[in-house]
Amino acid sequence: MAELRLRLRELREERELSQAEMAKKLGVSQQTYSRYESHTTEIPLKLLIYLAEFYDTSTDFLLGITNQDKAYPKIT
């Protein structure tokens, strides 16, 4: 899961967001978000999905399953 913490940090920093700003978007404390990035706390599935949507990518990319950073097409 090293990919997850690295990708979360990279995506956040690319958008020039602080951990506190991301924590507020997720409705968690800054300390909790910091634990997500350091992978000392598991990210709940609903927040992982939110992050993928927020960053316009896939959960597979966040988890390091693929290096394809484009979001999958939405099912309509």
Q: What would the pLDDT profile of 5-57 be if each residue is shown by its tens digit? A: 999 999 999 999 999 999 999 999 999 999 999 989 999 999 999 999 999 99
pLDDT recorded at residue 1: 60
Report whether CATH 1.10.260.40 matches the domain 2-63. yes
CA distance 46 to 37: 16
User: Which stretches within 1-76 are classed as H helix?
Assistant: 2-14, 19-26, 30-38, 45-54, 59-63
pLDDT recorded at residue 76: 74
Q: What residue has token string 């920093």?
A: 13
* Intra-chain end-to-end CA distance of the chain, in Å: 31
pLDDT recorded at residue 42: 92
pLDDT recorded at residue 31: 97
pLDDT recorded at residue 57: 95
Q: How far lies 17's CA from each of 24, 25, 28, 60, in Å?
A: 11, 11, 15, 22
Q: Tens digit of pLDDT for each residue in 3-19?
A: 899 999 999 999 999 99
